Each structure stands twice: as structure tokens, then as C-alpha cells.
Amino acid sequence: MPNADHRVDAHADRRIAIPVGERQYHISLGPGELAEYILLPGDPDRTSKIAERFDSIELERRHREFASVTGTYRGQRMSVVSTGIGTDNVEIVVAEILAITEHPTFIRIGSCGALQPDVAAGDLVITSGAVRLEATTSYFVHDGYPAIADYEAVAALVEAAARLGHRAHVGVTATAPGFYGAQGRPIPQLPIRYPDLAEEMARQRVLNFEMEASALLVLAGLAGCRAGVVCAVYAQRTTGDFPSGDVRDRAEAACLETGLESLRILAAMEAQKREAGTDRWRPSLWNGS
């Protein structure tokens, strides 16, 4: 396990869930079956939509809500692993991917609700950092620890959206532990503690609500891996607009395309760093590849 905590003897510590053989318990994947560049959609059905864009496919697998595909996209080996909904699922997926890869790069592609009036339904939101409203990451880090996107991933997502002509916003996301009460949505049959939560987040210039980003950013950062997040806006919380049909389909397609292109850009950045003999990418290394 290249990313494991080597202070722990896995074979002696019964707290660790050891899979039988090398295949991981939840995602049902083993070493070599994933690329080092990985898209993480929430919805398992998005995995097949992404796979349709691949030039070739070497592996397809589904176990529970975790649907996986590995193949090649425009010459770059990539994988897709769906996480399902919520930060608890992200924790499972990231932990098991880290156990069978060397140094993965993650891009989450998802959906969200916009909290600012200038972010329209159908736009994309690229996360620079996330408010940790969930509790999953508190089992790993102090409550004041920030969930920050890797700067290379943010730059690659911004570049990808621009290349593809997709309208995108960059800023802070709020990661909620649920969809209804946890995002301040009223529930007629149930009381909620924070009915003004969306308005409070909006006053703090948070761009959007979603349910996975902070876990990915914290866990990837702790593992020393690059991670970024881009979400399609499916709901405009300030107006109540919740489009469907063509608007939603186009937004989803824009998000998938931006995620794929961002991984190609990140692979190019990695090549530029190797050529320059540095471990940090900077704009002056860009050669248009």
C-alpha cells in the first residue's frame, strides 16, 4: 500500500479492514486496475456516460453504488469511479483507491445548487475551497482545518472550461451532510435547526451547496495528492429555479467534458514539471501542449 500509514502494522492491527486478496472491499478493484488520473462522479450512471467518450476501455466493474471504468481518453489513461452520495462514501472510495494506486490525481464532477444570484442554472462552479459542514473529515483533522483544492487542479479546471467554452465560476463551496434539512430546505413533516443556512452561506460569499467536495479535498490533501472539484448548477437557490430537460443535460455534459479535459491538462502539467526538474508547476512552464 504505497499511501498507507506505515506506522501501523496492518497485519497486526485488527481495526483495519483487510480485504481478502488485493481486491478492495467496497470498490472491488485491485492494483493496476485504476489509472493515476481519476474522475469521481457521485452518480454511478454518469460513469457510463463518461465511458462513452473514451477511445478505448480496458475495464468495467460495478459493486454496490461504486461503478468503475478504466480506459484511454485522447491518448491519456484515465479511470472513473463513482462515489455515490455523501462524504462518508467519498471516504470509502478515496481510502480504497489510495491503497491500490501510487499517486492519484482526483477530479470530482458533480451537481450543485447555486447560492449567488450571478451563478445561473447550467453554469459550472469550480471549487477553490470548501466549508466543512459535514462531520466525516473531523475524524481525520482538527475542526479548523481547511478543505482546499489543489492549485494545479483549479488552474486545469479553469483552463479546461475556457477551452471548451463553458461558463464557469471559481470560489468557495459549502459541503453539506444532507440534501434537505442539512442545506436549510424546509421539510413539512420535520423540524430543521438551521432554516437560514443558505442565506448565511450566501452572505459569506459561498457560491454553491453540494455534498462531497470537502471530504475529497481534505483526504487527498492529507495523502499528498492533487484534487479538484467542478459541479454543474442544477438549482438556483436564490430564485428557486430547478431546471430539467435540455438545460440539465447540457450542464451535465459540460461538467463531464471539463473534468476529462482537466485531467489531460494535469497530465501535461506533470510532464512539464518533469522536463523542468521541479515538483511545482508554474504558469511559465506552460508550452501549450
Active site residue 226: no
Spell out where the chain has E strands.
37-41, 56-63, 66-73, 76-81, 105-114, 124-132, 147-148, 168-175, 208-210, 227-236
Residues forming a β-bridge with 168: 124
Find, among 112, 219, 120, the residue nearest to 172 by Cα: 112
Cα 158 to Cα 133: distance, rounded to the nearest angstrom = 25
Which residue among the candidates 96, 134, 159, 212 is catalytic per the annotation?
96
Cβ-based neighbours of 111, under 8 Å, separated by 6 or more: 42, 210, 231, 232, 233, 234, 251, 252, 255
Strand-strand pairing, 147-148 and 124-132: antiparallel
Catalytic option among 237, 252, 257, 264: 237
List the one residue out of 80, 89, 39 whose CA is nearest residue 62: 80
In the annotation, is 61 catalytic?
A: no
Q: Which of these is catalytic: 185, 250, 270, 282?
A: 185
Annotated catalytic residue 74: no
Catalytic (active site) residue 185: yes
Catalytic residue among 26, 62, 63, 250: 26
Residues forming the active site: 26, 96, 185, 237
